[in-house]
Amino acid sequence: MAEKKRSLYTGEENRTWFLKGMRDGIPIGMGYFAVAFALGIAARKAGMSAVQAGIMSITMLASAGQYGAITVIAGGGGYLQMAVTTLIVNLRYLLMSCALSQKVDPELGLGHRFLLSYPITDEIFGIAMTVPGRLNPFYNYGAAMVAAPGWTLGAFLGAAVGAVLPRRVENALSVALYGMFLAIIIPAARKNRIVAGIVAVSMLCSFLFTRIPLLKDISSGMQIILLTVLIAGGAAILFPIDEEGEGGDGNAS
């Protein structure tokens, strides 16, 4: 069994995928740096030190999740509230982890699975899912090796010196994260008309959720989960992917 696992990938393949992951991780790491900088400023305002902001970032590697945690710290909530809030705000990672479990070889060993779980972020998950066929875990390791330091250093510096940043620069940096999200969903929408429709419907519903009474009282973390389950679920029923659908981007429009 161990023999079989060992032969899943050759050292040469692993090296190639690791380097490719590092290369694709550079833009993510730079984007993370900018976004984490804003996060560090928020952490500082909640009474955290720069070191704490850095430790938080390297252990959690989560944008919205960390904002949620900072909010709880700032409000002096209980530990249970911290656990529930982080659970809800990060629940999408549960779905991503399910999806990623289908992208790797079923024979992949437990050690790799423990390691692969750490850098499940929107962006690293996003690029990993665009790899054709099965995922070599070293691709994610390479990306994480570049992205995690960017994320950590950004939060540390944001907490340490963020206050001196001009307001305009801070405003500009705060859209970096969304720019990265767009760079993942828009090209996929361009290639696949169903994905395009789903993206449009998602944005519209999300907008309505901020306007309609009662719905707008639902916390943003909960809104994300509700809309994800409803829209992705509806799409799965209406437009089930075909057998090769998973390599979906391969389908030439």
What's the closest the beta carbon of residue 136 comes to other proteins, in angstroms? Answer: 15
Q: Please report whether residue 210 would count as binding other proteins according to CB under 8 A.
A: yes
Q: Please report whether residue 212 would count as binding other proteins according to CB under 8 A.
A: no
Inter-CA distances, 48 with 45, 55, 120, 235, Å: 7, 11, 25, 42
Q: What part of residues 33-92 is at the interface with other proteins (CB under 8 A)?
A: 34, 47-48, 52, 55-56, 59-62, 64-66, 69, 72-73, 76-79, 82-83, 86-87, 90-92
Six token digits for residue 15: 């090296």
Q: Note every long-range contact of 170-177, with CB atoms under 8 Å and residues 24 or more positions apart, other chains counting.
A: 170/38, 170/41, 173/34, 173/35, 173/37, 173/38, 174/35, 174/38, 176/31, 176/34, 176/35, 177/31, 177/35, 177/63
- Cα 226 vs. chain centroid, distance in angstroms? 18
137 CB neighbour count, 10 Å cutoff: 24
Binding mask 111-150 for other proteins (x = CB under 8 A): --xx-xxx-x-xx-xxx-x---------------------
What's the closest the beta carbon of residue 12 comes to other proteins, in angstroms? Answer: 25
146 within 8 A of 22, measured Cβ to Cβ: yes
Q: Please report whether residue 8 would count as binding other proteins according to CB under 8 A.
A: no
- Cα 221 vs. chain centroid, distance in angstroms? 14
Which one of 19, 163, 203, 212 is in contact with other proteins (CB under 8 A)? Answer: 203
Cα separation, 54 vs 49, whole angstroms: 9
Which one of 94, 163, 212, 215 is in contact with other proteins (CB under 8 A)? Answer: 94
Q: Specify the residue for token string 């390479």.
A: 142
Q: Specify the residue for token string 């066929």.
A: 133
What's the closest the beta carbon of residue 96 comes to other proteins, in angstroms? Answer: 6
What's the closest the beta carbon of residue 221 comes to other proteins, in angstroms? Answer: 10
Which one of 1, 164, 168, 253 is in contact with other proteins (CB under 8 A)? Answer: 168
Q: Please report whether residue 183 would count as binding other proteins according to CB under 8 A.
A: yes
What's the closest the beta carbon of residue 225 comes to other proteins, in angstroms? Answer: 9
Which one of 2, 7, 164, 167 is in contact with other proteins (CB under 8 A)? Answer: 167
Q: Please report whether residue 195 would count as binding other proteins according to CB under 8 A.
A: yes
